[in-house]
Structure 1
Amino acid sequence: MTKTMTDAELIRKYRILGNRMNAYTSRAPLRYKVATGEEMNAIRDELRIRGLYEADTGRFVTVPEA
């Protein structure tokens, strides 16, 4: 990521990408799904580093005020 994002911005972007991933149909090109998944993984890794994402449960530990 080129710009440093706040915790709330990262969580918001992660949720938007998750919604986008759920909205893809079987007709969506695989490259879009792969690109979205890779971006989600990068954000998830950053959230884990910051201690905001619990890998075992797949949930956010704390959700900062937006």
Structure 2
Amino acid sequence: MSAIYILIPIAVALVGFAIWLFVWAVDNGQYDDLDGPAHSILFDDEDPQHKAGIAEADQPEQQDQPRA
């Protein structure tokens, strides 16, 4: 019976800490956007073929020079 006098305050303290931790997480925006990061990994930032086309367009064209 004497153990319950120790366990009840410890349990109340743990519940209080869990509630404080949850309130802190909500205030810091941890639960603002749950779906955005999950969906963002499904889409590429840039199309690889488009990136290759830009790289080719940035290179200066070599003109054929007559050989001597």
TM-score tier by shorter-chain length is 0.3 to 0.5
Which one has a larger percent strand, Structure 1 or Structure 2?
Answer: 1
Higher relative contact order (CA 8 A, sep 6+): 1
**Is the radius of gyration larger for structure 1 or structure 2?**
2
Query: What is the TM-score when the length of structure 2 is the normalising length?
Result: 0.35
